[in-house]
Structure 1
């Protein structure tokens, strides 16, 4: 691992298989690779971050009223299962608040405008979207992407008129989904249950700016300061090692990762910085 600048050795959890060598059934090795990133030089990126931090978070309209439902086109899902969700509703509001989450990633569009994105289903997006609502028919589309065995989308839009009356747009059985962004092959969705149902529970929004990250920050591309780069230590083969959801350090500085299912624990020994060594992965 030759470095000409300061390096972030990032353990990036992915689920597509990449060729790796195996010393035996329980020990694997993989050479780190530099992944795509963009140098942060200020300007437009600073503007995006500024908009993210200042984006109105809403005033509690979605806390009241009926519950939205977790939906997906299929009962079972797999890694990389990507769907586009569609719904139309009448505008004419003076206030509009959005609540949305997707297990695992989503980008939300209102009338063709990308308004928010998130890759943390446990911390839903909650924000004021009134500026994106128009009179007449409005269209919402959500680009949802699954990274594990369980998948679901939930969305609630509270629309308040000038008289203070609130009506709601709720994800449910009347929504449609498509494999294509243009919605050319729409199909019905399946309802997993209302807000609060397992495995998601009563998720709450976090104050972290990332929960309302605007979608014009490139997806799956890291932003770094000049002189830094990102390295992927290991690309997890989901079929063999499962979906890693927890990670910690042991007393020797090695990483211990846990699968969310029954694949067990793994010990990851990163290479020495500045060397040509490989990442070593051992099943415990």
Structure 2
């Protein structure tokens, strides 16, 4: 009997060692707007697969420059679809690995109840000192914000009131801190556990800007990585999709 127990213990130990050997880590560059959902997805991914996702958050434009300079990212979750496609064309992304993991929505938000109306007329009235946006050259949500202002015909009138953040996260921080009374951010950023946070907002109609298709791509440094492949598969799973929708994204 003792011999049997020793055999069983050894088998379990070997199985555990084999599982640990198969587990791996993947380095992921994540668009700032996707911070909260990706943190949840990464935790669920580790529980489901044993692989760990090491996350770095920032602007898609900055990530592109870092990847071109040799940054050791293995997967990019961009805030647009052009950057992953460009990286694939230039040989820094794995051809055929790109797919849309989320479609983002732009929102005009203020922590002050009643400041932002549900039609965005506050922009035409202009009764505020500062409007925060992300840098349109670095962040697709910033570009969508400038396209919205142009579509509404208020871009020139509000130019002097713009406060520009490096990323959508910094744009939100400007609003939260009071540096700007309101700002264009990602709809996901005003969600907490499936519920809207306090304040007032206008969900910008998708027709006012270029669709915010957010694509993922395996980068050259992630080629052949079991963890990278597993993460890409997990992002397509019903479990990940449920989290993505909880934060106001579509897919």
Question: TM bucket by the smaller chain?
Answer: under 0.3
Normalised by the length of structure 1, the TM-score is 0.23
The structure with more strand, counted as a fraction of residues: 1
The structure with more helix, counted as a fraction of residues: 2
